[in-house]
A and B are shown apart, each in its own frame.
Chain A
């Protein structure tokens, strides 16, 4: 299976990942056999509607699941030839934040209300790099410069900063220890468009300057289209399509991806009804058998309700999990 990625160097590989929770006594399988390759230096967009399992995936990559409702994780997360899910706490702790870092969706909630930005950064430097006060000061200043924040921010608390500044601070924390991989969970969803633009540009610049590999999670197709090199689509806890950016947006093969793209409103669609996917996203406690999309799929056949389509390479560098890839017909009047 690992051979499939061929000559591309992968920093992070996810293999047959299953994550189960308990919700109201029912078992909820949030991830149902995820496979994913994050290649060196790429921005990998991961799109999916709410509940598809995007956040669960990111948390699982760093083995962060816990709490009363968490049941179990199976599968492998391979990083530098080690399965992160099998590491002992002290080992994975050295990786978290230092080699693989996360940026969260709501920076206000993910920053400690009782600590200044400087205290946040100091803690990270101290625990991962053993850096003491003086050199930390220099690194801290450097970090702020990287994310384009004024130095005064150091002595401020998260609630004193605007949403955009909070997210910049969050990113400064994430890159503080020079990680190889950045996991970004909807990093711009809570922000205004102009601020979103700045943050996206910041991420692109940091990728180039620091050689980061980024897993960029979002429910916003337009944002992913703008920043990602490759795009994966998540539905019902599984990857259903994976391709290079333009391949996915121009020639989507999975009916869900195609319908999702068609349902996005734009000025060009004025006066015409939007294309609609009937029904709703499945809940993790009740994912339909067979192809999870079959109750909503306009071209579903009998076998779709019974057999599970595996993610397969349809052609070079474009995989899809569907028995009838690319067979959803173009609606009348859709301009190419």
Chain B
């Protein structure tokens, strides 16, 4: 089976530019990362803060063009697409960020936030309201929420709305960058269940980024561990959990407190 998402030798380097000198220091945020995600599976990506998880996410969908390497989604190399092609392709892949509070425009009612996303997805005006109601229903909210402003929602509800918005263009691939980190424990479980449910129903593929190893262990079919921008561990979840190849992975798992000790 050909993978749905494949990443070959992806690197992203930031150079700090100052007025006088051209480049002072280069940050190799992501270095030569390769992996593949099969359709309708979840790849979990973990690593300590600053290890390059978010940078990898942005480079993957070419929000920040990678410095080198190739990304193929459904067999199509993203770098070959022009700007318009990339825009169209991006509908099929969406990023959900960690902080739901910053993700919604506080001055827009929910229906406009959703409407904008639906418009971008090419949904005709007449159908947008019905589609917005349907999206809210998918994430467990009702039509009565359409007219409210973001501040009227709790963190968990906001994250539901952000997920609904990401689903507007019927994407096939979602990058979830710490989707529950800012939520309460009891709310995290709600959102995780929702995400797993959506994945089953629509055959979605996820790149699931989190620093929480228990969570990554729970959701992932395959697991990658980033350290200083390098993918030091990558393989099927079973194998990474049972026999991690890198010393770093082992250290990480040993350090992370776990409710249920399996091993």
Contacts and interface: CB of A to CB of B under 8 A. Distances in A.
B156 A280 contact: yes
A274 B186 contact: no
Contacts of A192: 48-49, 211
B184 A276 contact: no
Given A193-B48, A267-B218, A273-B193, A219 B262 contact: no
Contact of B190 (A220, A260, A264, A276): A276
- How many of chain B's residues touch chain A, expressed as a range? 35 or more
Interface in A250-293: 259-261, 263-270, 273-278, 280-281
23 contacts: A49-B184, A193-B252, A196-B255, A196-B257, A197-B255, A197-B256, A197-B257, A220-B185, A222-B258, A259-B186, A263-B185, A263-B188, A264-B189, A265-B218, A266-B214, A268-B260, A270-B217, A270-B218, A270-B237, A274-B193, A274-B218, A277-B186, A280-B154
Interface in B215-263: 215, 217-219, 237, 241, 251-252, 254-260, 262
Contacts, number: 106
B119 interface: no
Contacts of A264: 185, 189, 214, 259-260
Nearest to A221: B259
Chain A interface: which size bin? 35 or more
Interface in A126-143: none
Given A193-B252, A221-B259, A265 B211 contact: no
Given A265-B218, A266-B217, A267-B217, A222 B49 contact: no
B219 A194 contact: no
A269 B258 CA distance: 13
Interface of B: 48-49, 154, 156-157, 184-190, 192-193, 196-197, 211, 213-215, 217-219, 237, 241, 251-252, 254-260, 262
A-B complex: 6 closest residue pairs judged by Cβ atoms: A265-B218, A267-B217, A263-B189, A222-B257, A197-B255, A49-B184
Contacts of B157: 280
Contact of A267 (B188, B189, B262): B262
A266 B184 contact: no
Interface string A46-79: 0001100000000000000000000000000000
Contacts of A273: 193, 196-197
A226 interface: yes
Given A49-B186, A193-B211, A274-B189, A266 B251 contact: no
A265 B186 contact: no
A261 B259 CA distance: 8
A265 B213 contact: no
Nearest to A265: B218
Contacts of B241: 267
